[in-house]
């Protein structure tokens, strides 16, 4: 039996022991005597950092207190039956991993049944129990060895990173082709300037490019977000949407559906009533119930999320609270291997500013310290007349933020769309605005 081979090789093969011990658990062994033997091996290794001999293991077992004589006797018989045998280590590792997975899933199912029978309100933990069990795997990577892994590092330097591209020329330029996975990307703008518009446009583009998009809103209703994305995808103003006959709406929606293989899920939470714990649960439910795994996540917006590590009224300042939320969202991006896009507001003093900086981030400077990419969306009367936004890079881990620091893009607010504008407008308009607001103009060459 595989469990006999596992226990025997834990004392006869130190290489095997060191590779599997971090993943084995006593609860994986059904028989009490097997579990007792494993626990004594584990205890010995923790204390002496080497595998025990059969003699040492027998002595440890016979000196135990609190165990019945019968169980100890059976455990000693298990040890006496251990033999050294030549076995393919790779085969044994694969079989041990399968053994751990099978036992973890079985235990998770049994625990889930007990939870359902108790009906004590903890049923929501069942998806996570099953997910953790299905995720059991042997990962022997414990760090990057500088010289040994040099070849792998060279391949990494020359590998094309998977990114989620924009449909806006300059945003692709400054991010080297789009947003990488496992990153937190922030939009900074004043109240009502266009944070949600920006994210709805990006989500619409991702959807029509065949990506799976999750849009989490804590500010507006699900239907309002879907309405904005409708306007973008159907190229119809929001005002016209409500006047479209049902047949015309369904026809437009059918054409859009046939153009993409992507899916969009919009989920609404109460303001300040959800955080990363809720989002993680949602992602697991979507995967289990709908087979939906997002390529990118939008969260509208960061400052009205809750932290699962800190309580809002626990006496911590806004700096630490917002920074905690940012760190948790970035952790979510890493855990689920997706880019996360969110937004934050400017301070009141920067609301009408035409030269927003990182210092204008409201509530916490810890947020830009955590983000991988952050840019400001700037609007004023001159830009509004031209139906344009100015974009200013604030932080950029993907490329040099000095290059193309400022540029403008077109905005069609009725249709919730953004678009590229002519190069001449990009060059002249920033200078005009900067001169009007006493900012030293500098034209950046591509």
Task: Quote the distance between the C-alpha of residue 4 and its chain's center.
Answer: 40
Contact 179, 342 (CB under 8 A): no
Contact 392, 376 (CB under 8 A): yes
Q: Among 116-125, 297-306, 426-435, whose mean pLDDT is lowest?
A: 426-435
The one-character DSSP state at 285 is H
pLDDT value at position 137? Answer: 78
Task: Quote the distance between the C-alpha of residue 168 and its chain's center.
Answer: 24
Contact 203, 298 (CB under 8 A): yes
pLDDT value at position 33? Answer: 95
pLDDT value at position 353? Answer: 67
Higher pLDDT, 350 or 12: 12
pLDDT value at position 359? Answer: 85
The tokens describing 226, both together, are: 């879907």
pLDDT value at position 135? Answer: 75
The pLDDT tens digits for 152-211 are: 889 878 877 789 999 999 999 999 999 999 999 999 999 889 999 999 999 999 999 999
Q: Which residues pair with 189 in a beta bridge?
A: 345
Q: Among 96-100, 195-199, 427-431, whose mean pLDDT is lowest?
A: 427-431
Q: Tell me how far CA of residue 198 lies from CA of 201, 203, 222, 415, in angstroms.
A: 5, 9, 16, 12
Domain with CATH 1.10.860.10 in the chain: 2-134
pTM to 2 decimals? 0.68
Q: Tell me how far CA of residue 298 lies from CA of 88, 168, 173, 336, 360, in angstroms.
A: 48, 18, 21, 13, 22
pLDDT value at position 435? Answer: 43
pLDDT value at position 364? Answer: 80
Q: Among 160-174, 187-201, 357-371, 416-430, whose mean pLDDT is lowest?
A: 416-430
The tokens describing 358, both together, are: 């990182």
Q: Among 345-349, 396-400, 411-415, whose mean pLDDT is lowest?
A: 345-349
Backbone angles phi, psi at 301, to 5 degrees: -140, 175
Contacts of 365 (CB under 8 A, 6+ apart): 319, 358, 359
Examine the pLDDT at 24 and tell me if it is beyond 90: yes
pLDDT value at position 352? Answer: 63
Q: Is 342 exposed, middle or buried (0-12, 13-18, 19+ CB in 10 A)?
A: buried
pLDDT value at position 140? Answer: 61
Contacts of 98 (CB under 8 A, 6+ apart): none
Examine the pLDDT at 145 and tell me if it is beyond 80: yes
Examine the pLDDT at 445 and tell me if it is beyond 70: no
Q: What is the 3-state secondary structure (H, E, C) of 381-409?
A: HHHHHCCEEEEEEEEECCCCCCCCCEEEE
Class of domain 2-134: mainly alpha
The one-character DSSP state at 311 is -
Q: Among 13-22, 36-45, 205-214, whose mean pLDDT is lowest?
A: 13-22
Greatest alpha-carbon pair distance for the chain in Å reads 90
Any idea how long the chain is?
A: 446
Domain with CATH 3.40.50.300 in the chain: 163-436
Rounded CA-CA distance 126/142 in Å is 30
Percent of the chain past pLDDT 90, that is, above it, reads: 70
Contact 431, 443 (CB under 8 A): yes
Under CATH, which number does the domain 163-436 receive? Answer: 3.40.50.300
The pLDDT tens digits for 232-264 are: 999 999 999 989 999 999 999 999 999 999 999
> Which residue matches tokens 């630490």?
320
Rounded CA-CA distance 362/346 in Å is 5
């Amino acid at each position: 039996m595989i469990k006999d081979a596992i226990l025997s090789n834990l004392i006869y093969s130190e290489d095997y022991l060191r590779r599997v011990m971090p993943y084995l658990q006593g609860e994986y062994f059904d028989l009490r005597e097997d579990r007792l033997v494993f626990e004594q091996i584990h205890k010995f290794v923790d204390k002496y950092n080497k595998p025990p001999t059969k003699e040492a293991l027998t002595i440890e077992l016979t000196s135990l207190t609190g165990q019945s004589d019968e169980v100890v006797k059976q455990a000693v018989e298990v040890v006496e039956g251990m033999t050294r045998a030549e076995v393919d280590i790779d085969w044994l590792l694969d079989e041990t991993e399968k053994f751990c997975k099978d036992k973890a899933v079985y235990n998770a199912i049994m625990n889930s049944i007990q939870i359902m029978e108790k009906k004590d309100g903890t049923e929501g933990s069942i998806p996570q129990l099953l997910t953790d069990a299905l995720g059991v795997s042997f990962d022997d990577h414990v760090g990057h060895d500088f010289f040994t892994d040099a070849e792998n590092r060279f391949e990494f330097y020359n590998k094309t990173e998977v990114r989620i591209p924009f449909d806006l020329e300059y945003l692709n330029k400054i991010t080297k082709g789009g947003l990488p996975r496992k990153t937190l990307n922030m939009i900074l703008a004043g109240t009502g300037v266009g944070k949600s518009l920006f994210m709805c446009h990006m989500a619409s583009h991702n959807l029509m490019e065949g990506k799976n998009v999750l849009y989490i809103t804590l500010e507006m209703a699900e239907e309002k977000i879907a309405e904005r994305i409708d306007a973008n995808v159907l190229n119809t103003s929001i005002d016209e949407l409500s006047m479209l006959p049902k047949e015309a709406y369904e026809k437009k929606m059918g054409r859009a559906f046939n153009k993409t293989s992507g899916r969009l899920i919009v989920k609404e939470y109460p303001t300040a009533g959800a955080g990363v714990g809720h989002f993680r649960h949602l992602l697991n439910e979507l995967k289990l119930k709908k087979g939906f795994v997002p390529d990118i996540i939008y969260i509208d917006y960061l400052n009205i999320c809750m932290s699962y590590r800190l309580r809002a009224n626990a006496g911590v300042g806004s700096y630490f609270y917002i920074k905690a939320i940012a760190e948790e969202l970035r952790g979510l991006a890493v855990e689920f291997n997706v880019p996360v896009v969110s937004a934050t507001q400017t301070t009141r003093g920067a609301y009408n500013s035409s030269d927003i900086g990182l210092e204008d981030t409201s509530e916490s400077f810890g947020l830009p310290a955590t983000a991988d990419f952050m840019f400001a969306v700037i609007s004023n009367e001159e830009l509004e007349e031209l139906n344009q936004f100015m974009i200013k890079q604030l932080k950029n881990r993907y490329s040099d933020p000095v290059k193309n620091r400022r540029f403008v893009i077109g905005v069609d607010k009725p249709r919730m769309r953004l678009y590229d504008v002519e190069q001449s407008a990009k060059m002249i308009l920033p200078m005009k605005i900067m001169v009007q607001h006493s900012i030293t103009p500098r034209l950046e060459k591509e």
